[in-house]
């Protein structure tokens, strides 16, 4: 599990950079920027509850240790931020 988290870290840092630079730019504060941010929030919103549900359902079949559960939650948070950052990147270049 830790390997997957380490492999996701570069994507996470890039997505975080894109997201924060977009928020602080003048484009992020415009109406178009707010529209892009709303689309990114819509894309990232269902990931956390659905992922948590899947982790809990599989936990009833496979008993995870606390360390594995913690790693899975960390990966879920990374994926949520990655999707949000890449959605901002995609919509910023698309429109």
Given phi > 0 = left and psi -120 to 50 = alpha, else beta, which region is 87?
alpha
| pLDDT score at 1 | 67
Q: Looking at 24-94, which runs of residues are DSSP E strands?
A: none
Per the confidence metrics, is the pTM higher than 0.85? yes
Question: What's the pLDDT tens digit per position in 75-89?
Answer: 999 999 999 999 999
Q: Please state, in angstroms and rounded to a whole number, the distance separating the CA atoms of residues 93 and 71.
A: 33
Question: What's the pLDDT tens digit per position in 17-53?
Answer: 999 999 998 888 889 999 999 999 999 999 999 999 9
Angle at 53 between CA 46 and CA 58, to 5 degrees: 140
DSSP 28-50: HHSHHHHHHHHHHHHHHTTHHHH
């Amino acid at each position: 599990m830790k390997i997957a988290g380490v492999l996701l870290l570069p994507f996470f840092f890039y997505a975080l950079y894109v997201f924060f630079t977009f928020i602080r730019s003048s484009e992020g504060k415009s109406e178009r920027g707010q529209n892009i941010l709303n689309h990114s929030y819509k894309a990232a919103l269902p990931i956390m509850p659905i992922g948590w549900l899947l982790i809990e359902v599989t936990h009833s079949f496979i008993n995870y240790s606390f360390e594995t559960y913690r790693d899975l939650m960390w990966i879920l948070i990374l994926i949520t931020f990655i999707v949000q950052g890449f959605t901002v990147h995609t919509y910023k270049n698309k429109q």
